Amino acid sequence: MTDLLRFRDDTPTTDPVAAFETCCDQSNATAVRIEPGDDARALLTFLDRLTLVEVNFPVYGDGRGYSAARILREAGFDGEIRAVGDVLVDQLNNMRRCGFDAFQPNAPLDRADADAAFKTWPEVYQATTDGRNPIWNIRHGANHE
């Protein structure tokens, strides 16, 4: 767990992480790992029992996990969404914006590099579920709901 970069106050779960298929069939799994081809919306019916969703990036260039994370957050999921696999420092910022709040890459990340990455953009153009008010709202004194 030493290489886990985490932006949450609660304690990481120690429950076993179920594969997507088994999780959908089992009624008691609290942690699940999804692969790029898995439909995150299939988790929505039992989100309330999940504390952790791991989203695997077998290669950094496969961006399906970004949509998966946003879909979970848009459904109100407030558990941990952890990016695992081929996750590089240059992707962290976008991942945070899409709802990831923990990172456990194959190659360990330097905490200082990660902190610098999160400071790259003073403001953002788009509205996501990360709570940042987009530029086009700031310009007009509006707030993102």
Partner 1 sequence: MYKYDQYDQAMVDARVAEFRDQAQRRIDGKLTEDQFKPLRLMNGLYLQLHAYMLRVAVPYGTLNSTQMHVLADIADKYDRGYGHFTTRQNIQYNWIKLEDAGDILADLAKVEMHAIQTSGNCIRNISSDHFAGAAQDELVDPRPYAELLRQWSSFHPEFMYLPRKFKIAVIASDTDRAAMRLHDIGIQIVKNADGEIGASFYVGGGMGRTPMIAPNIRDFVPLDQLITYSEACLRVYNRYGRRDNKYKARIKILVHELGAEEYTRQVEEEFAHLLEQGIEPPIAELERIKPFFADPAFEDGTKTVDRSDPDFALWVDRNTHRHKHDSYVSAVVSLKPVGGIPGDATAEQMHLMADLAKEYSFDELRVMHTQNIVLPHVKIADLHALWTKLEAAGLGTPNLDQIGDIIACPGLDYCSLANARSIPLAQKISERFKANGKEDTLGELKLKISGCINACGHHHAGHIGILGVDKKGVENYQLSLGGSEAEDTALGKITGRGFDEDGVIEAVETVTDVYLAQKEDGERFLDTYNRIGMAPFKEALYD
The site for partner 1 (CB under 8 A) is made up of 36, 60-64, 66-67, 70, 74, 88, 90-91, 93-95, 97-98, 120-129, 134-140, 142, 144-145
Those residues whose C-beta lies under 8 Å from the C-beta of residue 136, and which sit 6 or more positions away, are 125
- Quote the CA–CA distance of 110 and 84 in Å, as a whole number: 15
| Cβ proximity to partner 1, 51 vs 137, nearer residue | 137
| Cβ proximity to partner 1, 25 vs 145, nearer residue | 145
Extract the tokens encoding 122: 């003073």
| Cβ proximity to partner 1, 29 vs 96, nearer residue | 96
Least gap, CB of 8 to partner 1 (angstroms): 19
CA 61 to chain centre: 16
Extract the tokens encoding 2: 């030493």
| Cβ proximity to partner 1, 22 vs 116, nearer residue | 116
Least gap, CB of 7 to partner 1 (angstroms): 15
Least gap, CB of 55 to partner 1 (angstroms): 13
C-beta of residue 57 within 8 angstroms of C-beta of residue 86: yes
N-term to C-term CA, the chain: 35
| Cβ proximity to partner 1, 9 vs 123, nearer residue | 123
Least gap, CB of 5 to partner 1 (angstroms): 18
Least gap, CB of 119 to partner 1 (angstroms): 9
